[in-house]
């Protein structure tokens, strides 16, 4: 260290700054993700340049040409250093095999007619090449600094979660997906999961932390677990519980205590049973209604109008939506209470009459003049804004999220409409992906044509998503999207590229990689994680950090 030049120290600490900035930016800023990559690119070019030789040679030149000589020598040294590092990269088989994920996109251009969109995909996926290239070439990060970097990431996630909670408190938000202002809420939920397992490792590992530090880490850990359920992202919640499984199994296998082995084994058995039973009962109580004898129901409203009792409109909150329904009284009294006409749409684009019926049903009110009269002005405002169930006003309820999915699935089965439900939209997108795969199983539709191909598939299938926005034109499943884009050979290489480097480096014994990789795989099943900047950067950076960088991972084994 004492013989290290000022230039080498500058490059080294610039590298550390770039890594720290990347980890802080991942949950907070797409802009600074890009800035961090530019910094790391500069380090990649400059690290290894012998500035002393440049200085010696330039001093041998006369005064007028000293600066141009130094500049030319610097460019030459930088170029030679770049060639040397590229040679080292291509000799690093795990690194270039992982980065070949971008090569799949490149070959997909051969079967593409929309080259403009194909080039956009390539630009988005550049981190799959650049981050393995950079991180595999950098010098080894000291263990203490490595720990600091991970805690910087966890702290940034906590900061993002606190900002989201502040927005949830001060704003009238009914959809918690709106409280992640920096990156998409699904990608943020994955980072919350990653931060949870990072904090758990350092909070509970012996000698990893002590005193007030451990207390702070446990407090941050507890908050993020609570926040994950507040965010109500099923992708994040499922990733959390699925990732617990390998962690508990491997921790139990490594433990020498029989009591700990027994407790962990019992937890592994009990946890899925408890969650499964709770989800089952939640859906059952929401969608099952007690049998009703129609002939014993009131036939007329207090105003003398005839009721309609329609049991085919579905069940919500354990009650038939279509019972005690009087359309004339509803229309007349609603038009007196609201500026939005009964036959118009609410602020979410739904038919307001059906929003009103469901809202009255959720408050156990009859769908007639007495029911509308019982609504407060605030209730009327909620209906106008598309709130169809009074329980939707609970901001932190995972139960309501499950209720929504159950209700949307009922509607989908009965009418074929997706009602804006992301879960039901994924069913349609999966069908479209399989439709494309059957027709292009060998080569796929190409890198740039995936968007237009999905639109055409929706049209040919007469899907309700054929008029949806461009965000729907994908499978929302990374494996299906890869197979639809590049065929079965493309999927095989994709799996090889993400598995071989980790197997070669024996990374599946590393706690951080196991947790990260499990979270990533779960996200791949429910989303196109690599089709956006935050997702692809998250995956490429952590994969490169845990597998391809020069790390002493013995202290991080499970």
- CA-nearest of 324, 320, 321 to 309 is 324
Residue 228 included in any domain: yes
Residue 106 included in any domain: no
- pLDDT at 8 > cutoff 90: no
Q: Are residues 303 and 345 located together in one domain of the fold? A: yes
Question: Domain ends where: 369, 395, 421?
Answer: 395
What does the pLDDT average to over 76-93?
Answer: 82
Q: Are residues 60 and 162 located together in one domain of the fold? A: no
Residue 110 included in any domain: no
- CA-nearest of 139, 137, 140 to 89 is 137
- pLDDT at 292 > cutoff 80: yes
The tens digit of pLDDT for each residue in 488-535 reads: 999 999 999 999 999 999 999 899 999 999 999 999 998 889 988 899
Q: Are residues 298 and 206 located together in one domain of the fold? A: no
> For residue 310, how many other CB atoms are within 10 A of its CB?
12
Q: Radius of gyration of the chain from Cα atoms?
A: 29
Q: Are residues 304 and 259 located together in one domain of the fold? A: no
Distance, CA of 3 to CA of 409 (rounded, Å): 68
- Give 31's pLDDT tier (boundaries 50, 70, 90): very high
Apex 125 CA angle, 13 and 188, nearest 5: 75
Residue 249 included in any domain: yes
- Give 68's pLDDT tier (boundaries 50, 70, 90): low
Q: Are residues 148 and 213 located together in one domain of the fold? A: yes
Residue 187 included in any domain: yes
Q: Are residues 267 and 306 located together in one domain of the fold? A: no
Structurally, how many domains does the chain consist of? 3
- CA-nearest of 311, 315, 14, 12 to 140 is 12
The tens digit of pLDDT for each residue in 334-343 reads: 999 999 999 9
Q: Are residues 203 and 94 located together in one domain of the fold? A: no
Q: Are residues 271 and 341 located together in one domain of the fold? A: no
- Give 280's pLDDT tier (boundaries 50, 70, 90): confident
Q: Are residues 153 and 272 located together in one domain of the fold? A: yes
Query: Domain of 63?
Result: 6-101
- pLDDT at 174 > cutoff 60: no
- CA-nearest of 443, 448, 452, 490 to 473 is 452
- What local confidence, expressed as pLDDT, does residue 206 receive? 59
Residue 469 included in any domain: no
Q: Are residues 173 and 203 located together in one domain of the fold? A: yes
DSSP strand pairing (319-325 vs 308-316) = antiparallel
- pLDDT at 478 > cutoff 90: yes
Q: Are residues 272 and 147 located together in one domain of the fold? A: yes
Q: Are residues 198 and 265 located together in one domain of the fold? A: yes
The tens digit of pLDDT for each residue in 341-359 reads: 999 999 888 889 999 999 9
> For residue 188, how many other CB atoms are within 10 A of its CB?
29
- What local confidence, expressed as pLDDT, does residue 233 receive? 83
Distance, CA of 478 to CA of 466 (rounded, Å): 21
Question: Domain ends where: 380, 395, 410?
Answer: 395
Task: Assess contact for 4 and 132: CB atoms under 8 A.
Answer: no
Residue 232 included in any domain: yes
- What local confidence, expressed as pLDDT, does residue 1 receive? 46
The tens digit of pLDDT for each residue in 411-436 reads: 777 666 655 566 777 888 888 899 99
Residue 261 included in any domain: yes
Please give the sequence-ordered ranges of beta strands (E in DSSP) within 429-473, or none if there are none.
none
The more confident residue out of 179 and 147 is 147
- Structure-block tokens of residue 329: 């009284």
The tens digit of pLDDT for each residue in 232-262 reads: 788 889 999 999 988 888 888 777 778 888 8
Question: Domain ends where: 101, 123, 151?
Answer: 101
């Amino acid at each position: 260290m004492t013989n290290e030049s000022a230039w080498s120290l500058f490059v080294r600490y610039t590298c550390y700054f770039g890594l720290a900035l990347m980890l802080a930016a991942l949950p907070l800023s797409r802009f600074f993700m890009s800035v961090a990559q530019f910094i790391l690119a500069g380090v990649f070019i400059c690290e290894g340049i012998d500035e002393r030789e440049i200085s010696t040679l330039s001093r041998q030149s006369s005064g007028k040409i000293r600066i141009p000589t130094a500049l030319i020598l610097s460019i030459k040294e930088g170029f030679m250093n770049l060639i040397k590092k590229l040679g080292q990269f291509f000799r690093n088989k795990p690194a270039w095999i992982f980065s070949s994920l971008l090569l799949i996109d490149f070959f997909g251009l051969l079967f593409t007619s929309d080259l403009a969109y194909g080039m956009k995909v390539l630009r988005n996926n550049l981190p799959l090449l650049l981050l393995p290239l950079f991180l595999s070439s950098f010098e080894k990060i000291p263990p203490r600094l490595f720990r600091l970097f991970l805690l910087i990431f966890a702290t940034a996630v906590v900061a993002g979660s606190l900002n989201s909670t502040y927005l949830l408190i001060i704003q009238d938000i009914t959809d918690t997906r709106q409280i992640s202002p920096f990156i998409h809420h699904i990608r943020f939920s994955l980072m919350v999961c990653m931060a949870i397992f990072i904090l758990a490792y350092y909070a509970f590992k012996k000698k990893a932390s002590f005193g007030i530090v451990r207390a702070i880490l446990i407090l941050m850990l507890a908050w993020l677990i609570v926040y994950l359920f507040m965010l109500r992202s099923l992708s994040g919640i499922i990733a959390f519980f699925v990732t617990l499984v390998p962690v508990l199994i491997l921790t139990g296998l490594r433990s020498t205590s029989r009591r700990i082995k027994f407790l962990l084994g019992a937890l592994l058995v009990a946890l899925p049973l408890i969650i499964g039973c709770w989800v089952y009962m939640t859906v059952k109580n929401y969608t099952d209604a007690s049998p009703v004898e129609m002939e014993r129901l009131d036939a007329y409203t207090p105003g003398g109008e005839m009721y309609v009792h329609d049991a085919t409109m579905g069940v919500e909150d354990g009650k038939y939506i279509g019972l005690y329904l009087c359309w004339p009284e509803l229309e007349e009294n609603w038009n007196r209470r609201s500026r939005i006409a009964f036959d118009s749409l609410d602020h979410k684009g739904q038919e307001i009459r059906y929003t009103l019926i469901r809202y009255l049903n959720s408050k156990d009110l009859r769908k007639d003049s007495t029911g509308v009269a019982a609504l407060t002005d605030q209730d009327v405002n909620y209906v106008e804004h598309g709130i169809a169930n009074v329980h939707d006003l609970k901001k932190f309820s995972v139960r309501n999220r499950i209720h929504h999915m159950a209700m949307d699935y009922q509607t989908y089965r009965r009418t074929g409409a997706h009602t804006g439900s992301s879960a039901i939209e994924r069913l349609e997108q999966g069908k479209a992906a399989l439709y494309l795969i059957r027709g292009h199983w060998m080569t796929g539709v190409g890198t740039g044509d995936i968007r237009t191909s999905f639109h055409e598939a929706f049209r040919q299938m007469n899907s309700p998503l054929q008029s949806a926005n461009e965000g729907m034109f994908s499978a929302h499943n990374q494996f299906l999207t890869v197979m639809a884009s590049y065929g079965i050979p493309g999927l095989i290489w994709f799996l090889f590229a993400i598995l071989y480097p980790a197997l070669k480096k024996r990374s599946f014994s590393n706690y951080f990689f196991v947790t990260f990789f499990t979270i990533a795989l779960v996200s791949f099943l429910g989303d196109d994680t690599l089709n956006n900047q935050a997702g692809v950067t998250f995956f490429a950076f952590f994969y490169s950090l845990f597998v391809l960088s020069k790390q002493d991972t013995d202290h991080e084994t499970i």
